[in-house]
Amino acid sequence: MARVVVVDYGMGNLRSVYRALLAAGADADAVAVSADPEAVRAAERVVLPGVGAMGDCMAELERLGLRAAVREAAASKPFLGVCLGMQALLGRSDESGGVAGLGIVPGRAVRFPDGERDAAGRPLKVPHMGWSRVAQRCSHPLWAGIADGEWFYFVHSYYALADDARAVAGEAEHGRRFAAALAAGPCFAVQFHPEKSQAAGLRLYRNFLDWDGRWRD
């Protein structure tokens, strides 16, 4: 049985996430990239990565029989959502004409509006692509050893609006403040790509490997 399963539904930068987990200290024989729902159920901890459109994401999770297994994992064991994998945890996304998510974190994903500008008046592009600082909004085990305001790498056009502000574990800015991290029970999710975020990203993966899933007991 793999200790860590990276969910393969055909839309994530799977090899990069796998290599980052190894670089963060996981043994190669303890990490599996799998599309098998039973492997997800049996794993001690689960990573849901993702790159692409929300409609395709949810359709593939359904087609592969992964939807229920991923929901169960996000509610019961240490679970990390990355980029699109974070948005999939929401109740709904405006992307793809509107699509239901997994409903782990009440809220929805909305698109950055065109025409916004930064504090200096310079136009901002959509997608938001590049390095941004993340302000930590709670004390969480996955932030251990990571400075408040650390830089992380983002690539996204949609961002999360959580119904409950207490679910927001980190914020960044791109014309407006937005949720860069969400936390709900044993589930933690980030809009940025830890595997592309150098030392801080590897520290977050290391924290995830050490995390027992408890928060706000």
Residues with catalytic function: 83, 193, 195
Q: What does pTM read for this prediction?
A: 0.96
The pLDDT tens digits of the residues spanning 67-101 come to 999 999 999 999 999 999 999 999 999 999 999 99
pLDDT in tens, 131-181: 999 999 999 999 999 999 999 999 999 999 999 999 999 999 999 999 999
pLDDT at 217: 53
- The long-range contacts involving 104-108, CB below 8 angstroms and separated by at least 24 positions, are 104/71, 104/74, 104/75, 104/184, 104/187, 105/160, 105/162, 105/167, 105/182, 105/184, 105/187, 105/189, 106/162, 106/163, 106/164, 106/167, 107/160, 107/161, 107/162, 107/163, 107/164, 107/167, 108/160, 108/161
What pLDDT band is residue 1 in, cutting at 50, 70 and 90? very low
pLDDT tens digits for range 90-131: 999 999 999 999 999 999 999 999 988 888 888 999 999 999
Q: How much is the pLDDT for 216?
A: 76
